[in-house]
Amino acid sequence: MEMAKQRVIVDDAVIESGEIQEIIDPLWWSVSIYDGEEQYQRDLEGFTAPQRYLFALQWYLAEVNNGGHDQFYSNSTGIVWEDAMNGAREMGMEELYGIIRESADRMGGKPAKEREDRWDQMSDLEPEFGDLNKRLYAMEKADDIERRMAAYALENRQALYFDGEVEKQKHSQKLLCDVCIKLTDLKLYFDRAVLKHTFYRICKCSFGELCCLWWKKKCVHIQTRKKPSQKLL
């Protein structure tokens, strides 16, 4: 994968736009959720708590809206659960905090940060998250979570400013094509308007206007995962 350094600026204009994905763009390219807790914590060292909270909540919401808490904890994104939970409380979203806290309790109280260890927890505990998924979806209809996140960004703008270089993949088209899976595999999740909106904005920010055409042609696909207990054999 060919990478190139690009300048990224998060200034008042970006923060006031309310586009969370653009606000966390420096973390999006700099913080790995795929290489274990040690790497995750090391990558976050240069960023502030507000940046960290927004980054974690963005990942949490995208995953749970796509495939529920099962997918969130099964995938690499599960590493952000504690930051997402603390971020929800920091932003005054007690109901969301309670949902994440309850999901963690069903994972034994402290979900493992390493993905394979979370798989073991899920296999042993076989947690059910259906009611929590419904609570989150109902909350999103009644309370604009992204608006609350944007308001938090405005209140903490001093901690969100960024002007520096990050490494981005040179050929965005290739990355887009590399992650394709048939949309028919996801139609149950993509019926949710909130995911359509969230995923579109993530792609637009990450890959630019190219993604707009790609999305409209429905060439983009996201992979979902079964619970570890369902995929073992």
Average pLDDT over residues 121-143: 93
Average pLDDT across the chain, whole number: 81
pLDDT of residue 143: 74
φ/ψ (deg, to 5) at 62? -60, -45
Average pLDDT over residues 109-115: 96
Q: Inter-axis angle of helices 49-74 and 193-207, to 10 degrees?
A: 120
φ/ψ (deg, to 5) at 179? -100, 15
Distance CA 232, CA 151 (A): 43
φ/ψ (deg, to 5) at 4? -145, 140
pLDDT (tens digit per residue) in 161-216:
999 999 886 544 434 444 443 333 343 444 344 444 455 445 544 444 445 444 43
pLDDT (tens digit per residue) in 46-64:
999 999 999 999 999 999 9
Average pLDDT over residues 20-25: 96
Locate the domains of the chain by residue range.
Answer: 3-231
Average pLDDT over residues 89-111: 97
Task: Tell me the pTM.
Answer: 0.75
pLDDT of residue 203: 53
CB 218 within 8 Å of CB 183: yes
Q: Inter-axis angle of helices 49-74 and 94-105, to 10 degrees?
A: 40
